[in-house]
Structure 1
Amino acid sequence: MADMSPPDNNRRAARRRGKRSGKVADFRYKRPSQPDSSASGEQPKRRDGKTSETARPEGPAVGALPGHRHGPHPRQAYAALDLGTNNCRLLIARPSGENFTVIDAFSRVVRLGEGLATNGRLSDEAMDRAVGALGVCADKLRRRNVFLARSVATEACRRASNGEEFIERVRRETGIALDIISAQEEARLAVLGCHVLLESGTGPALIFDIGGGSTELVLVEQTQTVPEIVDWVSVPWGVVSLTDTVGRVEGDEAARNDRYAEMRRVVLESFAPFAERITDYAQQGAEIRLLGTSGTVTTLASLHLELPHYDRRAVDGLIVESKSMREISARLSTMSRDDRSALPCIGPDRSELVVAGCAILESILDIWSADRLGVADRGIREGILRSLMASNA
């Protein structure tokens, strides 16, 4: 088989990945008529499934828009937008005391990274889909009169040789200024957005985010506020990039087994240096904790619960035995695409990509043998919103 490393022809993006990124919000939302416009993102949600979450004072302070001399009025809206390799998601929220409440949301599968692993570029069709979704987001931002927003782009734009050109097109056509964040910043925001769902305990914890184009693993130790990041890694394998590079799990059962095994091999090879570094932590046995945020873990959790349709209130904050998640992953890897499509909470869109997610999840369980897995339906966008609101409290 061909080289397993996805193409990375964008040297500027490569330099960016090695740079520490601690930015909280460098962009304010403006209408498209103003060239230096916006960024947006998504908000945190509560463990009980309601649409609010405590915002703690984390990250550097960011000033308000011109004319705002003090902190934001409770009716002012904040936004967080995350353009990933597979999805475009937006959340808009208002402060509510120490919490905040979602007032608008948007999510669309745009498959921005489709074909990227093969040719190193964002295709015209993928960019058109993403710009269309971002246009909807821009309309929502204008209608909600957003006070402060941040929009981020992740692995697809980091890796694509034409990523910067796409960012400029988005700014020109929608007024949204996307910030191509580093893998380190992506990991930090994911932790900030979901760490409240970690099981209580004193042992080390691993938080992971399986995306479309990359997967971030973050080793943390508990503190009284936000967990301390001990070590982290980002590998260029997400559900889209791994599927496009290794190939779809199709054919007869033997062929499907072989393709799934190859996915597992590729991912474990990428995890190997990080796995060696965290060996001492991983050997602490039952005390170790594990928390995942991604469409993969929420989908598998839905199958574990045998839900007829996805229910965030049932899934967000759920604790599942790792053994059950492995069993579901193994079963999905041997099924045909049509059979996977027929399962509740998967459908045609997820049926092609969920197997790659299973391969990544099982590989994580190989290097971090926690008995249980926490499931989070929250992450980067929630982390962005918590930072934005805390910085203007």
Structure 2
Amino acid sequence: MADVSPPDKVRSARNRTRSNGGKPSGKVADFRYKRPSPSDPSAHRGTALRTGAPATGEPRRQAYAALDLGTNNCRLLIARPSGENFTVIDAFSRVVRLGEGLAHSGRLSDEAMDRALAALHVCADKLRRRNVSLARSVATEACRRAANGADFIDRVREETGIALDIISAQEEARLAVLGCHILLEQGHGPAVIFDIGGGSTELVLIEPGERVPRIIDWASVPWGVVSLTDTVGRAEDDAATRLGRYRQMRMLVSDSFAPFAERIADASRAEDIRLLGTSGTVTTLASLHLELPQYDRRAVDGLIVPAQAMRAISERLSVMDLDERQTLPCIGPDRADLVVAGCAILESILDIWPAERLGVADRGIREGILRSLMAGTPAPPRPAA
């Protein structure tokens, strides 16, 4: 048993609510939101930027936007419908490290909030210039966990006009599946889709459905690349220290995965099991597998990689020092100190779901939000205070 507890030991149990009277949920679309009443003034909280544009009744060619403020990154997509899909007309991504230090302090630091706000001001400017009238902006694990998370959300709205919703881990998992399941390798067996974030990792067990997969089970653990790195520490003095640090990361994550691993054990032994990952970790490792000189989304998004190749890359990175990792293409200084934690999480996932191949998705929550908005399913009203 690991000697360090997750930053929030009870959160995953507290949030593991399911529909259908406690039974596993059905289709991904089971969690789609009810259309809010036009007479309810709170119905579009968190969905529209303060631009004066109406949130409903727009022509089909209106611009939609999805903003995801995570523990490590701030990402924005602005798109217009294009048949059954959409065309991206603007995008933004910046490493903000909102959750830096959160594992020890329990609070968002002033420096981290300032970094995030600077990025959100850029997003607000893009939303206005693109005349976006329907958007959904979400915040995830860092704001869920931080004691001052709600205060930060209020500050963001006051200073930028962006109304962020702190979504549950269940909603985060649903949106990730909705955004990337189309890239799942063809087959009839069960599959796991996972999202390694900055502050948490979501895993979803699914089976094929008519149009969208059916969610059989899911879990969220409070280990992401930032929270795991901050908890274990950044000491990398020599190879032995780096190896011991990596083993501790693996132990912590494996312990947190244990209840989910037990529940999916029978499914993991089925034939034709499949695996799809969406995160900076899997896209970075896929880039190294392809030996790309620089990141190329077109080469990575939808790639199928042998799982053993991803393990080999993870093991190689785990014993490199920080300077060596920084020199590798597609890692650089932004990811060099966090990629090892991502490798530890990925290997732990491969332990409990031993698929021979791993699908790679450079898409997820934002694309899930856009698909929900374009299907006419805006965010639900916030509960009354």
- Which TM-score band applies after superposition, normalised by the shorter structure? 0.7 to 0.9
Q: CA RMSD in A?
A: 2.2
Cα-to-partner distance string for 1:92-151 (whole Å, 9 max, x where unaligned): 011123321111111110000000000100000000111111111111111111121000
Q: 2:47 aligns with which of 13, 19, 28?
A: 28
Q: Does structure 1 retain, via aligned residues, the 8 Å contact 2:12–2:220?
A: no
What's the counterpart of residue 370 of structure 1? 355
Do the aligned residues in 1 keep the contact of 2:47 with 2:137 (CA within 8 Å)?
A: no
Secondary structure of the residue aligned to 2:162 is coil
Q: 1:174 aligns with which of 136, 160, 167?
A: 160
The one of 143, 150, 158 equivalent to 2:129 is 143
Query: Residue 133 of structure 2: SS of its match in structure 1?
Result: strand
Counterpart in the other structure of 1:4: 5
Q: Residue type matched to 1:374 in 2?
A: G
Letter paired with 1:306? E
**Mapping for residues 7-18 of structure 1, pairs under 5 Å:** 17=15
Aligned to 2:225: 239
Please tell me the residue identity of whatever aligns with 1:371.
E
**Match for residue 345 of structure 1?**
330
Q: Identity of paired residues, percent?
A: 73
Residue in structure 1 matched with residue 106 of structure 2 by the alignment: 120
The total of aligned residue pairs comes to 356
Secondary structure of the structure 2 residue equivalent to 1:104: strand
TM-score by length of 1: 0.86
1:157: which partner in 2? 143
**Inter-partner Cα distance in structure 2 for 1:231 and 1:99:** 27
Q: Deviations over 1:155-199 (max 9, x none)?
A: 000000000000000011001110000000000000000000011
Distance 1:26-1:169 versus aligned 2 partners, 3 A rule: closer
Q: TM-score, normalised by structure 2?
A: 0.88
Q: Match for residue 89 of structure 2?
A: 103
Matching residue of 2:38: none
2:173 corresponds in structure 1 to 187
Report the Cα distance in structure 2 between the residues aligned to 1:243 and 1:388, rounded to whole angstroms.
Answer: 35
The answer to whether the 8 Å contact 1:28/1:150 transfers is: yes
Asked whether 1:204 is paired with 2:190, we answer yes
CA shift at 1:339, angstroms?
Answer: 0.2
SS at match of 2:329: coil
The answer on whether the counterparts of 1:216 and 1:232 sit within 8 Å (CA) in structure 2 is yes
Q: From the superposition, tell whether residues 233 and 7 of structure 1 become closer, same or farther in structure 2 (CA, over 3 Å).
A: closer
Report deviation, 1:31: 2.5
Secondary structure at the aligned position of 2:89 is classed as strand
The aligned residue for residue 65 of structure 1 is 55
Q: Is the 8 A contact 1:7 1:119 kept in 2?
A: no
Matching residue's letter, 1:348: P
Where do 1:241-320 residues align within 5 Å?
241-248=227-234, 250-285=236-271, 287-320=272-305
Shift of 1:284: 1.6
Output the CA distance in 2 between the equivalents of 1:296 and 1:158. Answer: 22
Pair 1:231–1:145, CA change in 2 (3 A): same
Query: Hey, what does 1:42 align to over in structure 2?
Result: none
TM superposition shift of 1:6 = 1.2
| Aligned-partner SS, 1:29 | coil
- 2:120 counterpart letter in structure 1: L
The amino acid across from 1:28 in the alignment is T
Please tell me whether the aligned partners of residues 257 and 334 of structure 1 are also in contact (alpha carbons under 8 angstroms): yes
Shift of 1:28: 3.4
List per-residue Cα deviations over 1:298-344 (Å, max 9, x = no partner): 00000000000000000000000000000000000000100000000
Q: How big is each residue's C-alpha offset from its partner over 1:227-276, in whole Å with a ceiling of 9 and x where there is no partner?
A: 00000000000000000001125111111100000000000000001000
C-alpha distance 260-301 of structure 1, shift in aligned 2 (>3 A): same
Unaligned runs of 5+ in 2: 20-30, 34-43, 379-385
SS in structure 2 at match of 1:216? strand
Structure 1 residue identity aligned to 2:374: M
- 2 CA distance for matches of 1:186 and 1:370? 24
Pair 1:223–1:249, CA change in 2 (3 A): farther
C-alpha separation in 2, matches of 1:117 and 1:259: 17
Partner of 1:58: none
Kept after mapping to 1: 8 A contact 2:45/2:163? no
SS at match of 2:230: helix
C-alpha deviation, 1:202, in angstroms: 0.6
